[in-house]
Amino acid sequence: MLWLMNMGLAASRGAAPPPVVISAPTPAGKSRKRYYVEIDSVRFDVKDAEEAREILERAKQLANKAAQVSAETIERAHRYTTETIEPVKLEAPRIKASPELKLPLKSVRRSMNRIYRENSINLELRLWLELERRLLEDDDEAMLLLQ
């Protein structure tokens, strides 16, 4: 998603999801567990639940801007090309995390879905208003030609 680029992170899509927990040797020869947070198939390795919460909070902050950018892109594409407006649904990012972190993912997903749903509704309303304005202008032009 665009908002991931705003975080300064980019990843390739379509890669196989990583395993839930990976053990890696530490300098002392002991292995430690690595945890992760995954947003739209982009993996962020974290040390603990606190770091994971920070990433999720940053993602929530960026979600509104990302949804607005997506809505503007759709609006530009539909501005003058359609006679009807189909329902708009902006997709919220998919969020996963290591189960061991016991993060409140349901509430984060709900927040993200709400942000994207609100932006979808606002976009659809703007598209309908723009269509109505164009139709009224066309009617005014037709009335002028008939006079």
Give me the tens of pLDDT residue by residue for the chain, a chain 147 residues long: 544 444 444 343 444 454 445 555 556 656 667 889 999 889 999 998 899 999 999 998 899 889 999 888 888 877 666 677 778 888 999 999 989 988 889 999 999 999 999 999 999 998 888 888 888 887 766 666 666
pTM value? 0.67
For the chain, give every domain's residue range: 2-146
DSSP3 helix / strand / coil % (the chain, rounded to 5) = 55, 15, 30
C-alpha separations of 91 from 25, 87, 136 in Å: 38, 13, 32
